[in-house]
Every structure is written in structure tokens, then in C-alpha cells.
Structure 1
Amino acid sequence: MSARPWLITAALTVAAITLVGCAQPATEASVPPAAEPVHWSYDGASGPASWAELDPGFVACGVGTAQSPIDLPTTVPAPSSVIQLSAEDAEADVFDTGHAVEFEADGEGETLTFAGVEYSLQQLHAHVPSEHTVNGQPAAAELHLVHADSAGKLLVLGILVTEGPESDALAPFIDAATHLADDEDVTMDIAAVLPRSLENYEYSGSLTTPPCTEDVQWVVMSTPISMSAEQIGILEGAHSHNARPTQPLGGRDVVGGSAELGVEG
């Protein structure tokens, strides 16, 4: 016996509504949510020993053969190159990256010529204690002045910090670190931040944070600068022990260098 026409029509209508209702979530699900940044830290399960396992993009942290930081020799090798530095006042924001307090210069304040290539200062940040060690001993802190050339290749100028007299040059940076929420511009005399002696260690390394990218030129000043215990304490209060352990030198050479400073005003 055949079904009545009105029953057939009703059944088709219900089926169509059901199909539309099922299809809607599938359409919304076709737009993937934005990926959350991978969490990494300096302690525990997300610390340096596990960085390479946290994300495929961090693989160099585990298998790289030219990683930073490293342990530096007590005696600086004889200088084999001369870096040209040109520094002036720089105005920038100071903010917390989640891993360090950073002064974002965006190419202002200093240029550095290394092996005929000019690099400009992008940002300055601090690690407490130092990441580089000298004869196995860390310094109280370390500043990293991150530079880039026109092609994006990086050069990092490292400055070791010992506890002693207060640093007037770094006072604006330190003061801003105590009230980061204010989002105010800070002016620093970059030339005054540098140590009196510009003798340095030079080697090819990597970023000291994920993704641990290699082919980064390192220049680490052999003469430290001084900061007061209070200043170091402020940075440590923001991020305590944000230092990656030293990495094997492998077949790399650490050479000596010097620098000449020209101040622009």
C-alpha cells in the first residue's frame, strides 16, 4: 500500500531540516582556531632540557651544533678584528616579554660594523644571572644588545654585569622595569652603557631562547660593567634565573676582537 502524499512531504521536510542542522557546525569547524604560542620556560617540564620537544620548530635547541651561550676562556685571544661602533641616545618602550625585561630600540641608538657589514640595534634585554660564563663562573647578570643587518642576520653584543656601583646609564631602563604597566618611552645613552674597554670575545652561535636559531654572530665584551645590588635585584625580581645553561663549544673557535666607538649626538 502506498504512503499518503502529505506524509511523504512532511518526511522530506524533516530530513532537509536535519541535514541543514548537521551541516552548520561542520562549516564553522572548517575555520581552524588560531594556534596558541608554545609555552616554554627556564624551569621544570618546559625548561631548557625540554625545549626541543615542545615544538618541531625548536628542534635546533636539542640537535644544533653551534648553540649559545658558551663558557668563555679566562684569557681573551689576541684581537683579530676591529668593530666600528656608532652610538647615540635611543628612545624606546620598555616592556616585559614574559621571559625578560626588554628595551625595544627598533634600529635606533646604535650601529655596529662587523666584517664590513652594518648592523643596527633592535632591542636590549637582561638575563639574571649571566648566560655566558668565564672559566665556568657566571656573572651577576648579562645584557644582550640584539642587532640586525639589512638582510635580517643577527649579531648580539653581550655585556657581563658585576655587582658594584650603580649604573647611571641603565637607570632609566631599571626604573621602567619597576612600573612596566605605565607604557612610557624611556631614553638611554647607549654609548654610556658600554664598558670602558671594548676588548671582546667573538664566536658564531645561536639565539639563547627558542627556537635557538643558529648562524648568530656573538660579540661578548670581556670587561664587565657594574650595577648596584638593588638594580640587579629589580631585574631578578622581574625574572629570576632566566639563563640558559652553557652549551658545548664543539669545533668552534672563540677569537678575540676590539672595537672603536664613535659617539653621535
Structure 2
Amino acid sequence: MSARSWLTASALTVAAVTLVGCAQAAPAETAPTERPVTEPAHWSYDGDSGPESWAGLDDAFQACEAGTDQSPIDLPAAVPAPSTSIELSAEEAEGDVFDSGHAVEIETDGEGEILTFADDDYSLQQLHAHVPSEHTVAGQPAAAELHLVHADADGNLLVLGILVTEGAASDALTPFIEAASHLADEDEVTLDVAAVLPASLENYEYSGSLTTPPCTEDVQWVVMGTPISMSAEQIDTLAGAHDHNARPTQPLGDRTVVGGAGEVEITG
């Protein structure tokens, strides 16, 4: 999953300290002393700043190596029998399309779609794309993967993953794809979230992490078992912005992947 500045775990601060002269002397103005601003560590998907090196780039990235519940993972060939259910209340979402430096994203106002999981409501915050997919199924990647990042009222994250195969064009994603072809304009688009979803909402569910630094864990993943299709031209447009922006799969460890069902209610 790629993330913008709101997904990072720490904030940067700048403090100014003003020195005051002694009481019996006339006050003298002293230039404030500023602490240097620390730039976020640069990371990428290849070379010395690629996934194998993320943990060494910044102390805040230690979970990328030390974490035991990391994402993405290799999913089983068949979706396990559903044991849980999600509910999506979907309407059109509006947001700006931009280049985060690692993926093409839409940042929404948090009002376009609500996903209910385990009686907790998560609102859609942003959507971004990875080419090829980050999750694999029985060892095989898909042509691309969409991540719909949600947050609940306490800031807990749930990511809805949708695998993409090459085939018919996606009309629902056309506004996003067209904006991705000229990212300098930072277009505002309207996305029909319900129309983006696959026909079946059977899904894989597991506890994982962000797929980008700082690789924060305790992220709930819901990955659709049925892919959607995009045309070769649409996939090429995303790849033209960021190609191979996929973290390799991580060990499953002691975790269990369970199956889920779902239903969608179109509210707008």
C-alpha cells in the first residue's frame, strides 16, 4: 500500500527559542534559534533504497524488517469458506488525483463510502494503484492492484484490495485513469465506488501492515477474491506513472487467512 503524509507514524516539529537580556540592561533583540528540519528518509522500490533496505533507512522504518505481521502476502488459490461478512455503503466519492512519488492516488474527503467490518465503520480516505499487484494468489501476481484505504473514528486502518487483470476496460475507473495521464494538473474526479467493485464480494481477510514505510502493523486487510478487469491501455497508463511499485510478499508466519462475504448498498 502506498501512503501519503497522513499514513506516516511521526510528525516533524520546528521550535524557536528567543533569548532575553538581563533585567537591568536594555532589552536586546536576539535572532531566534531554529532546530533543523529532518527530511523524511527517501525510499523506493529498487536499488539501495528498495524494500530490502527500508528498515535501515530510518529508525521509524524498523517494522519493515522486524515486524511479524507484514503485508503483502501470498494468498491461497481458493478463498476460504466465508466466516465473516462486510457491508459497504457506497456512493460517489470526490477527490484530487495526484502523484505521491510512489503511486497514483485519489485523496477523498472521507464521505464517499463506508465499510463496516466487525461492527466498526471505516470511511474511505484514499485509493492508489500498484503495478503489478502486491498480493499474489498461489504465487502469481495480477497485472495491478487497487488499494482503497479506510480509517475508523480512532484512526485504525482497513485496506480493501482489488486485484486487476488485463481485459475489458473499466468504465468506472476511467476518470481516475484519464487524470493519471496528466498528473501535473491535479484533477478533481468523481469515482463511483460501487461500480469499481467486482461482481462477487467474497474475500480474503487477514491482519497485516502498510506495504510502504513505516510498515505499520495492525492494519486489517480485505482482499477481493474476484478480480476486476482493466484494458491494457489503462494498465499502461498507471505503469507509465509508476511501474513495479510493488513490495515483495512477506512471510505469513502464525497468521491465518480467513474467508469473508459481503454486500453493498448503493446510497447515492
- TM normalised by structure 2 equals 0.88
Name the counterpart of 1:11.
none
Name the counterpart of 2:211.
208
Matched, 1:199 2:202: yes
The secondary structure found in structure 2 opposite 1:67 is coil
Give the paired residue count.
Answer: 240
Q: Whole-Å Cα distance in 2 between the matches of residues 111 and 81 of structure 1?
A: 17
Pairwise CA distance, 1:29: 9.2
Matched, 1:240 2:243: yes
CA-to-aligned-CA distance 1:183-236 (integer Å, 9 cap, x gap): 221011000000000000000000000000000000000000000000000000
Name the counterpart of 1:24.
none
Pairwise CA distance, 1:106: 2.8
Name the counterpart of 1:90.
93
CA-to-aligned-CA distance 1:59-108 (integer Å, 9 cap, x gap): 00000000000000001110001101010111110000000000101312
Pairwise CA distance, 1:53: 0.3
Q: Whole-Å Cα distance in 1 between the matches of residues 238 and 107 of structure 2?
A: 16
> Could you list the runs of 5+ residues in structure 1 that have no partner in the other structure?
1-26
Out of 102-111 and 240-249, give the one that drifted further.
Answer: 102-111
Name the counterpart of 1:190.
193
- TM normalised by structure 1 equals 0.89
Pairwise CA distance, 1:177: 0.4
Of residues 254, 263, 268, the one that matches 1:251 is 254
Name the counterpart of 1:123.
126
Q: Whole-Å Cα distance in 1 between the matches of residues 138 and 84 of structure 2?
A: 23
Q: Whole-Å Cα distance in 2 between the matches of residues 72 and 28 of structure 1?
A: 58
Q: Which runs of 4+ in 1 moved over 6 A?
A: none
Matched, 1:164 2:167: yes
Q: Whole-Å Cα distance in 1 between the matches of residues 186 and 230 of structure 2?
A: 24
Name the counterpart of 1:31.
34
Q: Whole-Å Cα distance in 2 between the matches of residues 144 and 28 of structure 1?
A: 47
Q: Whole-Å Cα distance in 2 between the matches of residues 48 and 183 of structure 1?
A: 28
Identity percentage over the alignment?
75
Q: Whole-Å Cα distance in 2 between the matches of residues 120 and 57 of structure 1?
A: 26
Pairwise CA distance, 1:30: 4.0
The secondary structure found in structure 1 opposite 2:134 is coil
The secondary structure found in structure 1 opposite 2:225 is strand
Amino acid at match of 2:91: E
- Structure having the higher helix fraction is 1
Matched, 1:140 2:161: no
Kept after mapping to 1: 8 A contact 2:86/2:115 = yes
The within-5 A match list for 1:20-99 is 30-99=33-102
Amino acid at match of 2:255: R
Query: Cα 1:39–1:170, aligned 2, differ >3 Å: closer, same or farther?
Result: same
Kept after mapping to 1: 8 A contact 2:99/2:105 = yes
Amino acid at match of 1:249: L
Pairwise CA distance, 1:182: 1.4
